[in-house]
Each structure stands twice: as structure tokens, then as C-alpha cells.
Structure 1
């Protein structure tokens, strides 16, 4: 099958636009504060309350006071981080080992020093309860 020059030009244009959009998402970061989300905090379980304090001390500088995002890091109260896409284990690995940037343009996340696995589990309990209260399952 032979493609016309017009068809080839359209395909090349579509590939260029797709490559630009992929680059934008992966490396350029948000163009504005569109990545910062409003967050409703529900009544929390005891474990999630512990996690909230730990989150404030260890995570909020980058991810925001209520995990709604900042100019330094993405919101965790976002559909990208729903349990079916990022498991609790993924949060544990990110906190203990760091992670490569793969959804946002903020750069790689370094490991969080001085936080135990149990404390990370409490932080995850907090994040999950807040996610659920904000429609992220």
C-alpha cells in the first residue's frame, strides 16, 4: 500500500504533536498551578490522624499541607494515585527508595530519611482516607 504525501504529512504531524504532549507531561511540568487541588479533610481514623501528623512533618513541604500539591511536588489527592494505579506498596517504595519522575515534571523524588515502614503505613492510611473523601477510590 502506498501512502500519499498528504497522508504522510498528517501522520508526521500527529506524531509530532503526540511527542510534544508526552514531553510536556513527562519533563516540562505544569504550566500553572493547575496541579494544585482543593482538598476536603474528612473525620479521620486514629491511624490516619497519626499519618496526618507524620505527613505534615515529612511530606507536606513538597506535596502540600493536605496532599493537594505545591510548586515543589504533585498532589497525592489525584486520580493518578488511586489504589488501582499506585498501590500502598508503591507509596512505601517511593518513600523508602525514592522514585523516578514519571507522571509529573517535578523531577525525581528522593527517599524520605528517618521514616519507618510503620510510619509510612500511617501516612498512606491518611492519604487513602483523604483520597476517598475526595472521590478517589
Structure 2
């Protein structure tokens, strides 16, 4: 192949990639979504709740006592307040169980959402957080997040 044609093809390909990346519609970035309705406190996710028993039911009680005031009923998040935990960002492969333990113990600097930093949760034990994790993971699984 003539070197001129190779160089020309290389630049044409680069121009095509640039044009596609510049003009193609982009999906909304879930890392920046924090409002849906504009109504403060409105749920940010529709959450199907499975039948709960044992450790998972205990986790729901612990979640309601320690987390729901910010993360909403059934971890659906609250518009303008805190993100939903039933979201693909919090799937086990991205945020493992240890991340939930650390978040409760130390708080979290804002990094996925624009809600601000999460403070530590005083008075919640590691055992309580284990139960909360079991509850959140059950909700995630029931909603197609593995």
C-alpha cells in the first residue's frame, strides 16, 4: 500500500472517531443525577421490595433506624438529600460490603453524586451494618442489581 494512502486513511479514521465522539448523543451520567422531580425528598428510584425474613428483616429495621432519614424508604434515595442505594453504582462489584462498613464508621467524601459528603453514622455497630448490608443487597437483587 502506498504510504500516502495509509497516512490519509489514518487521519480519515481519526476524524471519523472525533466526529462520532463529539456529536453522538450521550446517555445521562448516573454519577451526576440527583434530582428527578425537583421535589425535595421525593424518591429517586422505584424499588420493588421482596419478602423479608431473618437477618434481612432485621436489616430493614436497622436501616430504618439509621439510614432511611437520608437514603429514603427502602433505600430509594431522596431528591436533593441522598442517593438511592438500590442503584447500579452500589452493586457488590463496585461497592463491596466493606465500603458500607467504612461509610457508616468514617463517613464518605462525595465522589459519585452531588449530594455532599456523608457524615459517619454514630451509634451503629458493625453487626448492625452487616444486617443493613444484607437488607440493601436483598433489595438490589430484587431489582436486578447483582
Secondary structure in 2 matching 1:36 = coil
Alignment of 1:5-16 (within 5 A): none
Q: Separation in 1 of the partners of 2:134 and 2:37?
A: 26
Q: Separation in 2 of the partners of 1:99 and 1:39?
A: 24
Residue aligning to 2:36: 32
The two structures have a TM-score, normalised by structure 2, of 0.73
Q: Separation in 1 of the partners of 2:128 and 2:75?
A: 16
In structure 2, relative to structure 1, the CA distance for the partners of 1:52 and 1:31 (3 Å cut) is closer
Alignment of 1:5-84 (within 5 A): 25=32, 30-33=34-37, 36-71=44-79, 72-84=81-93
Residue aligning to 1:98: 107
Count of matched residue positions in the alignment of Structure 1 and Structure 2:
121
State the 1:43 CA deviation. Answer: 1.0
Q: Separation in 2 of the partners of 1:53 and 1:99?
A: 23
Q: Structure 1 residue runs of 4+, over 2 Å off?
A: 29-35
Q: Which has the higher contact order (CA 8 A, sep 6+)?
A: 1
Q: Separation in 1 of the partners of 2:34 and 2:56?
A: 29
Q: Separation in 2 of the partners of 1:64 and 1:97?
A: 20
**Quick check: 2:34–2:83 contact (8 Å CA) kept in 1?**
no
**Quick check: 2:59–2:132 contact (8 Å CA) kept in 1?**
yes
**Quick check: 2:49–2:139 contact (8 Å CA) kept in 1?**
yes
State the 1:31 CA deviation. Answer: 4.5
Q: CA RMSD in A?
A: 2.6
Q: Which runs of 5+ in 2 are unaligned?
A: 1-14, 23-27
The two structures have a TM-score, normalised by structure 1, of 0.78
Q: Separation in 2 of the partners of 1:85 and 1:135?
A: 15
Q: Which runs of 5+ in 1 are unaligned?
A: 1-6, 15-20
Output one character per residue of 1:9-63: Cα deviation in whole Å (capped at 9) or x when no partner: x89xx6xxxxxx99x83xxx63534970010110123001001001011100111
